[in-house]
Amino acid sequence: MQHRDTLFVHAGYTPDATGAVMPPIYLSSTYAQPAPGEHTGYEYGRSGNPSRAALEKALAELEGGHTGLAFASGLGAMTTVLELLEAGSEVVTIDDLYGGAWRLFEQVKKRSSNLNVRYAPPDDLDAIKQAITPATRLVWLEMPTNPLLKLPDIAEIARIARENGALTLVDATFSTPALLRPFEWGADIVLHSLTKYLNGHSDVIGGALIIKDPALGDKLRWLQNAVGAVLSPFDSFLALRGLRTLGLRMQRHSESALHIAGWLAEQPEVENVLYPGHPSHPQHALAKKYLPDGSGGVLSVRLRTDAEGVKRFTQALQVFTLAESLGGVESLINHPWSMTHAAIPEALRREKGIGPDILRLSVGIEHPADLIRDLAQALKTLQAG
């Protein structure tokens, strides 16, 4: 078996008859058929496209799964997964959850599909065990969670889900196959926002599902075509290009994030730092089990300030960019309270620990000394306040 660093460079494609080292971008929406109802592998662009197929094959190889599927967005992938379920089905998920997933569950699928969603803290295994019942059809996890960087015990939760006849999905957007392969810990479906680390250059919107079981993969491929939220050929090309450097990028992201987390933890303006790779994290031992090669490039920080101080701090930054999303080569900073998690009611945000004092950092591949200098001069605005 090849090392993952080699797979990142070669997965999904070998030079074709032209010798092209990278796969061409096939823009055709339809394909000639030799006879009615017969085709040579491709018939219509939504059903399949060679550029998308190369990316999907690479994703499956990198995760160690059977089927890879690429979508027009992460939420497109999420919506398609939920179409596996019958109306009224029960889903167990975590209470520290990407805001878009919460919105999809609570404001769309509860209304349109009578979805029954049960929430439990990702770091409370007993609570998750109690939440999973024989009626549960799907257990939905993030590793780590967004934005509080908590860690669910995937192997134990997947075992309990399997005993109850439920599937386990792991959103591994933050960790990527460079740091975590959820199938090795019992997951059935892996979800990614391609927009983030897999593409890595903040120029693609996309999502992905990778499935371990061939029969389940066939079901989801059928749903991918039926629902129709497929990734475009050009975006497939760009995402595959991004995958080629994923191993190197995640190493730099992880090393720099750990260094910055350690520095932030020592600053008087900082209440606490949330980063699984730092010894101060309450689940650091679990991070060493699941993420031995690094905890990724995302960390969250609570500042000792009010909303006005947070505003001053973010406006003073010069290298970090205030923006939604994460996982690009550039460093971004996000205010979950007012940005990515604003759809969640205020009382619920506060209950789950997402307050206006918390910021989520996506540490890029710039030199960490420059990033620390940028944070240091921005923290001075809190002293002035």
Report residue 263: phi and psi, to 5°. Answer: -65, -45
Active site residue 98: yes
Measured distance CA(353)–CA(128) in Å, rounded: 18
Measured distance CA(129)–CA(370) in Å, rounded: 44
Contacts of 134 (CB under 8 A, 6+ apart): 164, 165
Active site residue 196: yes
Contacts of 37 (CB under 8 A, 6+ apart): none
Active site residue 289: no
DSSP calls for 144-192: S-TTT-----HHHHHHHHHHTT-EEEEE-TTTHHHH--GGGGT-SEEEE
Sign of CA dihedral 34, 38, 39, 45: positive
Contacts of 266 (CB under 8 A, 6+ apart): none
Please answer whether residues 155 and 188 qualify as being in contact, where contact means their C-beta atoms are separated by less than 8 angstroms: no
Please give the single-letter amino acid code of residue 382.
L
Please answer whether residues 66 and 183 qualify as being in contact, where contact means their C-beta atoms are separated by less than 8 angstroms: no
Instruction: Please give the order of strands across the beta sheet that includes 189-193.
Output: 67-71, 207-211, 189-193, 167-171, 136-142, 90-94, 116-120
Active site residue 213: no
Say which residue the tokens 């996890």 belong to. Answer: 141
**Choosing from 31, 42, 46, 162, which is the catalytic residue?**
46
362: number of Cβ within 10 Å: 27
**Choosing from 4, 109, 181, 196, which is the catalytic residue?**
196
Measured distance CA(257)–CA(265) in Å, rounded: 12
Contacts of 288 (CB under 8 A, 6+ apart): none
**Choosing from 4, 26, 95, 98, which is the catalytic residue?**
98
**Choosing from 95, 153, 171, 235, which is the catalytic residue?**
171
Contacts of 347 (CB under 8 A, 6+ apart): none
Please answer whether residues 201 and 238 qualify as being in contact, where contact means their C-beta atoms are separated by less than 8 angstroms: yes
Catalytic residues: 46, 98, 171, 196
